Amino acid sequence: MGSKQTVFTHEQLEAYQDNPFRQRIAQVFSEDGDGHMTLDNFLDMFSVMSEMAPRDLKAYYAFKIYDFNEDDYICAWDLGQTVTRLTRGELSAEEVALVCDKVLDEADSDQDGRLSLEDFQNMILRAPDFLSTFHIRI
């Protein structure tokens, strides 16, 4: 606010961005998936992440964000990625595996070993604080 600096250095940007999924967000909302966003993409992102966006839409994009390898399913590998990023790699490999197993066990309703969008929505529908955490304010 107070500073006159208009161009951020790379380090500053890194320091400001603490979201473990920042790359994924950029990739999901960019048109060609390379993380570079046009203005429209940017607006897209904010309209999805805004407070007013409906739960279904948020769930859809959350699914895309957590789907690291972009095969339209959240598989065990994606879950492992998520856990590692959330905990900054502080959990051991066994613990990560246990967590992934548990998540699949809980949310995978058709038991095909991966979460489809439907599974994900079904799960996220009941999450009490999904709406309050999955949004960005400007």
Partner 1 sequence: MDYLKSASPTNVIRGFSGGDRSGRRPSSKQAPPGRRGSPPGQLDRARGSQRPGSPRRKQTERQTERRSRGGELVRGQERSATDRTCEGKRKRDARASLREQRAPQKKEKELLKKEEPRTRPKKPRSSSLASSVSGRESLSEEELARILEQVEEKKKLIATMRSKPWPMAKKLAELREAQAFVEEYEGALGKGKGKQLYAYRMLMAKKWVKFKRDFVNFKTQCIPWEMKIKGIESHFGSSVASYFIFLRWMYGVNLVLFGLIFGLVIIPEVLMGVPYGSIPRKTVPRAEQEKAMDFSVLWDFEGYIKYSALFYGYYNNQRTIGWLRYRLPMAYFMVGISVFGYSLVIVIRSMANNTQGSTSDGESDNFTFSFKMFTSWDYLIGNSETADSKYAAITTSFKESIVDEQESNKEENVHLTRFLRVVANFLIICCLCGSGYLIYFVVKRSQEFSKKQNVSWYERNEVEIVMSLLGMFCPPLFETIAALEKYHPRVGLKWQLGRIFALFLGNLYTFLLALMDDVHLKLSKEEKIKNITHWTLFNYYNSSGWNESVPRPPLHPADVPRGSCWETAVGIEFMRLTVSDMLVTYITILLGDFLRACFVRFMNYCWCWDLEAGFPSYAEFDISGNVLGLIFNQGMIWMGSFYAPGLVGINVLRLLTSMYFQCWAVMSSNVPHERVFKASRSNSFYMGLLLLVLFLSLLPVAYTIMSLPPSFDCGPFSGKYRMYDVLQETIENDFPTFLGKIFAFLANPGLIIPAILLMFLAIYYLNSVSKSLSRANAQLKKKIQALREDEKSHKSVKGKATASDSGDIPKSSSKNATQLQLPKEETTPHSASQSQIPDKKAQGSGTVLPASQHLTVSQPPGVRPGSSHPRSQTRACRSASGRKAQKPPC
Which parts of this chain interact with partner 1 (CB under 8 A)?
15-16, 18-21, 31, 40-41, 43-44, 47, 49, 51-54, 56-57, 59-62, 66, 72, 79, 82-83, 86-88, 90-91, 95, 98-99, 102-103, 106-107, 109-112, 116-118, 120-124, 126-130, 133-137
Looking at the Cβ atoms of 4 and 126, the one nearer to partner 1 is 126
Q: Which residues pair with 115 in a beta bridge?
A: 74
Taking the complex as a whole, the smallest distance from the CB of residue 46 to partner 1 amounts, in Å, to 9
Are 66 and 74 contacting, i.e. CB atoms less than 8 angstroms apart? yes
d(CA 47, CA 135): 10
Q: End-to-end distance of the chain based on CA atoms, in angstroms?
A: 13
Taking the complex as a whole, the smallest distance from the CB of residue 107 to partner 1 amounts, in Å, to 5
Looking at the Cβ atoms of 15 and 36, the one nearer to partner 1 is 15
Looking at the Cβ atoms of 4 and 21, the one nearer to partner 1 is 21
Taking the complex as a whole, the smallest distance from the CB of residue 35 to partner 1 amounts, in Å, to 16
d(CA 23, CA 81): 13
Alpha-helical regions (H) of the chain = 10-16, 22-29, 39-49, 55-66, 76-87, 93-107, 117-124, 130-133
